[in-house]
Amino acid sequence: MLATTGAAAQLEHLGGDTSVVVVSDPHRFRDLLLADHPRLAIVGQPPAGPLDLELLTAERRRRTGLRIVHLAPPEAVDDRLAALTGGFDDALATTIPAAELVGRLAWLDGRARARTGPASLLHLDDGLELDLAAHELRRAGVAIHLRPKEFGLLALMATHPGRAYTRAELLDRVWGGHQDGGGRTVDVHVRWLRSKIEIDPEHPAHLVTVRGVGYRFDTRRG
């Protein structure tokens, strides 16, 4: 969970195994939001400003599993209504009891999990996010165009990290078996994928060759 300092007081007694990161610097908040992919983001206004709210709502539209909550002083009714209109999942007064806030956050998180499913959104390395439900690959929130078979190949291997697939297995599962190009078709698509997902395509860290077998997807370097 990611929160600005404006929400710190309500979250300081949060129990369980929930990890809460509280930041005050807007740039740091943005970096963590885009890099760590929290399921919940809570922003207090103040210190958050209009640009911070726009960032959150834009990220909410891109990530189906993210839930965002706005907190403002009791008298800031217009700000809370504007947040709801702009796309926030909830907008609450800073005087809300901590127990109620925690309950609302748990409810929102449960709804997000039920909607997207535990395996529909894969957070890969290097800022990559594979959205199986939306059929989309994104890096830092920006969509990366994939051909249908490229997506199918990546989805199969990324959902089974560490497993080595032969070219024949990949042809069977992604192409349905018959393909005039045979194993060469797989090799071409792997090269295309590497050019899009690897930091250094000539020395792939994720879509690696398993000599004598085929290919494997690794989720971490080294």
Q: What is the 3 state secondary structure string of the chain?
A: CEEEHHHHHHHCCCCCCCCCEEECCHHHHHHHHHHHCCCEEEEECCCCCHHHHHHHHHHHHHCCCCEEEEEECCCCHHHHHHHHHHCCCEEEECCCCHHHHHHHHHHHHHHHHHHHCCCCEEECCCCEEEECCCCEEEECCEEECCCHHHHHHHHHHHCCCCCEEEHHHHHHHHHCCCCCCCHHHHHHHHHHHHHHHCCCCCCCCCEEEECCCEEEECCCCC
Are 134 and 187 in a shared domain?
yes
Total domains, the chain: 2
Picking from 56, 89, 117, the residue at the C-terminal end of a domain is 117
Q: Which pLDDT score, from 0 to 100, does residue 177 have?
A: 65
pLDDT mean values, one per 10 residues, the chain (222 residues): 52 54 75 77 82 83 79 90 88 85 79 57 82 83 88 90 90 77 86 94 93 88 42
Picking from 117, 139, 168, the residue at the C-terminal end of a domain is 117
Query: Does residue 180 form part of some domain?
Result: yes
Q: Which amino acid is at 155?
A: A
Q: Which pLDDT score, from 0 to 100, does residue 111 have?
A: 67
Are 137 and 163 in a shared domain?
yes
Look up the domain containing 83 and give its range. Answer: 2-117
Are 166 and 105 in a shared domain?
no
Q: Which pLDDT score, from 0 to 100, does residue 17 have?
A: 47
pLDDT digits (tens, 9 = 90+) for 39-82: 788 888 877 788 888 888 888 877 767 888 998 899 999 998 98
Which CATH number covers residue 104?
3.40.50.2300
Q: Which pLDDT score, from 0 to 100, does residue 4 have?
A: 54
Are 137 and 193 in a shared domain?
yes
Are 101 and 13 in a shared domain?
yes
Query: Does residue 222 form part of some domain?
Result: no
CA 165-142-196 angle, 5° bins: 35
pTM (two decimals) = 0.49
Q: Which pLDDT score, from 0 to 100, does residue 164 have?
A: 92
d(CA 135, CA 168): 24
pLDDT digits (tens, 9 = 90+) for 43-52: 888 777 888 8
Q: Which pLDDT score, from 0 to 100, does residue 221 have?
A: 45
Are 179 and 91 in a shared domain?
no
Query: Does residue 63 form part of some domain?
Result: yes
Are 128 and 80 in a shared domain?
no
Burial environment of residue 164 by CB neighbours within 10 A (0 to 12, 13 to 18, 19 or more): middle
Q: Which pLDDT score, from 0 to 100, does residue 222 have?
A: 40
